[in-house]
């Protein structure tokens, strides 16, 4: 059965799209069939993370009713099927619609469909939330961002969505709020802690998810751990001495 998971954040800039792209890759690497959809209609960039610059059909066309979802789907070498949103300014006026039925019909072979939802609580987010079964909240461990994520949690509960947990992203050593405090505050498990690291930016510039560009990086292993959590498996990574030395010199 296909699980449709929405990746949500209450505020922009927390690395939601980076998580979606890399989580899709690690699930595919684990042998799962994966599709990812960019439902951030006014802030599309999911395709760019995979090097998709120009494409004739997008999720905007699907939401207009002009084409089927399969016609807007692009296969990445990693095995992930990507449904990007349009980068054209002419498509900004497209009305967001619930395409859940198309997902169930045309992506029924997928184990997971990850939806990169719009930031905030506007129409785009609400329509995207209608499509999903489960939700992952992405936040930075600072009070304003956590406050926004808490509001997003409240709305997701009103929509009767199953919230799988929280991913803390772009975490710095200077952040005062710790994993345990945030878990208690949300009454949800923290299923991943991803540090701020310039290798993320380097992978985005390379138009290749970090789990492919730098598969042995600590962030890649943390995202693999999140994907294992979704699959109900335990992830154990034994870092070799060589990897520890490489990790030290990357800092």
Angle made by CA atoms 107, 123, 83, in degrees to the nearest 5:
25
Instruction: Quote the pLDDT of residue 249.
Output: 57
Q: List Cα–Cα distances, 239 to 131, 217, 250, in angstroms.
A: 39, 10, 15
For the record, the structure tokens of 56 come out as 């004739």
Instruction: Quote the pLDDT of residue 177.
Output: 82
Q: Does domain 3-250 have CATH number 3.30.70.260?
A: no
Instruction: Quote the pLDDT of residue 92.
Output: 86
Residue 251 has pLDDT above 80, yes or no: no
Q: What is the pLDDT of residues 71-116, one digit of tens each?
A: 999 999 999 999 999 999 888 889 999 999 999 999 999 999 999 9
- The neighbouring-strand residues paired with 212 are none
Instruction: Quote the pLDDT of residue 243.
Output: 56
User: Is 72 in contact with 102 (CB distance < 8 Å)?
Assistant: no
**What is the distance between the terminal CA atoms of the chain, rounded to a whole angstrom?**
42
Average pLDDT over residues 109-126: 93
Q: What is the pLDDT of residues 47-61, one digit of tens each?
A: 999 999 989 999 999
| Greatest mean pLDDT range, 32-41, 118-127, 143-152 | 32-41
B/e letters for 110-133, b = 16+ CB within 10 Å, e = fewer, are: bbbbbbbbbbbbeebbebbbebbe
**Per-domain boundaries in the chain:** 3-250
- Look at phi and psi of residue 13 and say left if phi exceeds 0, alpha if psi is from -120 to 50, else beta: left
Token look-up 């029924």 returns 108
Residue 239 has pLDDT above 90, yes or no: no
């Amino acid at each position: 059965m296909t699980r449709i998971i929405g990746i949500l954040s209450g505020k922009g800039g927390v690395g939601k799209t980076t998580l979606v792209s890399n989580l899709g890759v690690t699930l595919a690497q684990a042998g799962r069939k994966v599709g990812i959809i960019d439902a951030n209609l006014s802030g599309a960039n999911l395709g760019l993370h995979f090097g998709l610059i120009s494409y004739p059909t997008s999720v905007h066309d699907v939401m207009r009713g002009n084409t089927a979802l399969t016609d807007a789907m692009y296969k990445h070498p990693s095995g992930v099927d990507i449904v990007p949103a349009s980068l054209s300014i002419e498509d900004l006026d497209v009305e967001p619609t619930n395409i859940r039925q198309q997902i169930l019909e045309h992506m029924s072979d997928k184990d997971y469909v990850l939806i990169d939802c719009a930031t905030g609580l506007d129409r785009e987010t609400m329509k995207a939330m209608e499509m999903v079964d489960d939700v992952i909240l992405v936040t930075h461990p600072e009070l304003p961002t956590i406050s926004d994520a808490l509001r997003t949690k409240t709305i997701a509960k009103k929509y009767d969505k199953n919230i799988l947990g929280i991913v803390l992203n772009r975490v710095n050593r200077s952040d005062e709020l710790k994993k345990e405090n945030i878990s208690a505050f949300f009454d949800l498990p923290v299923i991943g802690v991803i540090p701020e690291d310039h290798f993320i930016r380097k992978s985005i510039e390379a138009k290749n998810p970090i789990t492919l560009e730098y598969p042995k990086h600590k962030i890649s292993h943390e995202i693999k751990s999140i994907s294992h959590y979704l699959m109900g498996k335990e992830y154990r990574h034994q870092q070799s001495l060589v990897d520890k030395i490489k990790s030290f010199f990357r800092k």
